[in-house]
Every structure is written in C-alpha cells, then in structure tokens.
Amino acid sequence: MDKMTVAEAEALFREIDADGNGEIRLSELRDYGKDHGGTVGGVKLADFVRGADTDGNRRISRTEFTSHFA
C-alpha cells in the first residue's frame, strides 16, 4: 500500500474519530469499517489495530494513527 501524506492520514483520522475526542476506539473503527468493507485505508481492521496500536491500549491515538499511515 502507498504511504499517505500526514495531511491525508489526519483527514482519515478525523473521519473515523466520530466523537472527535482525539483517539479512535474499536467501536468507532467498526462503525467506519461497516461502510468501507471492513478496512481502514485499505488495511483490514484487525491487522490495522494490531499494527497501529503500538502502546497496546486498544485505542488508536492521533500519533499512532499518523505514524502508521504516513
């Protein structure tokens, strides 16, 4: 998969972070995935969480998200 720019990654983050609290919960990911074939930025949800949640707290912070994609 091609890398995104930081701006693209941040735009996607805001799209998924439905309540706008600055971190993505698994429920927000699932809601997003429902409309996008179970993927985030072309990556399967489960693989995305495993790869992006570097501190293992089951939430994706903005930093984790952008450093995963950009």
Residue 6 C-beta: closest distance to Ca ion, Å:
18
Residues that bind Ca ion in the complex, under the rule CB under 5 A: 17, 19, 21, 53, 55, 57, 64
Residue 22 C-beta: closest distance to Ca ion, Å:
7
Contact predicate 29/45, CB 8 Å? yes
Residue 44 C-beta: closest distance to Ca ion, Å:
18
Q: Is 19 or 47 the residue whose CB approaches Ca ion more closely? A: 19
- For the four alpha carbons of 54, 57, 59 and 61, in that order, the dihedral sign comes to negative
Contact predicate 2/68, CB 8 Å? no
